[in-house]
Structure 1
Amino acid sequence: MNTITARHGDEALRRSVAADIGPRQPGTVYRNVDGEFRVLDLILDRDQARRLLNRRSAQFALRVIDQQRDNAQPFVIGSVWTSSDQLVTVGGA
């Protein structure tokens, strides 16, 4: 594979991962059929995401907490953003 093709492939993967993550950045709250979640961390390091999710194909991971459950504990997910996810609030610095 030449350098130009590799760069194009890297850019295509970056766009695909960005689409899979959607608007979920740290501080963002979103809801779906499973609950309402605040994003605590976005892990883009593939090796770390793969370890956390125990999934060889993971490209990212999100550490979230369910805001609707008392005494909820943070947990890690690797699910992609879908049309059933709804943005509640946008995170920020």
Structure 2
Amino acid sequence: MMPTTIALPSTDQEIGPRRPGAIYQNVDGRFEVLALITDPREAAQLLRRASARWAVIVRDTLRPDGQPYAVGSVWTTSDYLIRPPKAAAPAAAFAPAA
């Protein structure tokens, strides 16, 4: 029997359309993407995991006191785009408040 090869989704497929400026919604809320972190070390640190390929910094726009936080969940059919990302947005830097 031949071994089965499973193709893992690419980073772009996992992130989906979540780029700075985009707004998307799912069962957890409606989120504005503030930054996309593609450095694995920084992403792992933000997500408090041993490893991660990426992280997205979001803010829940349905909460008036919504504070930015990092998510690492993959884009699924439960997520839908409300506003596309800003065209040619410069790389956003995220610095935690002191």
TM interval, short-chain normalised = 0.7 to 0.9
Normalised TM-score (structure 1) = 0.82
Gaps of 5+ in 1: 1-11
| Secondary structure, counterpart of 2:20 in structure 1 | coil
Q: Does 1:32 align with 2:19?
A: no
Instruction: Work out the CA distance in 1 between the residues paired with 2:13 and 2:51.
Output: 16
Instruction: Work out the CA distance in 2 between the residues paired with 1:72 and 1:18.
Output: 26
Q: Which amino acid aligns with 1:31?
A: Q
Bigger fraction of residues in helix: 1
Deviations 1:20-67 (CA, angstroms, capped at 9, x unpaired): 000100000000000000000000000000111111231000000000
1:74 aligned residue (68, 79, 96): 68
Instruction: Work out the CA distance in 1 between the residues paired with 2:52 and 2:39.
Output: 10
Map residues 1-93 of structure 1 onto 2, 5 A cutoff: 16-92=10-86, 93=89
Aligned residues: 81
Gaps of 5+ in 2: 1-6, 90-98
- Structure 1 moving runs of 4+ over 4 Å: none
Normalised TM-score (structure 2) = 0.78
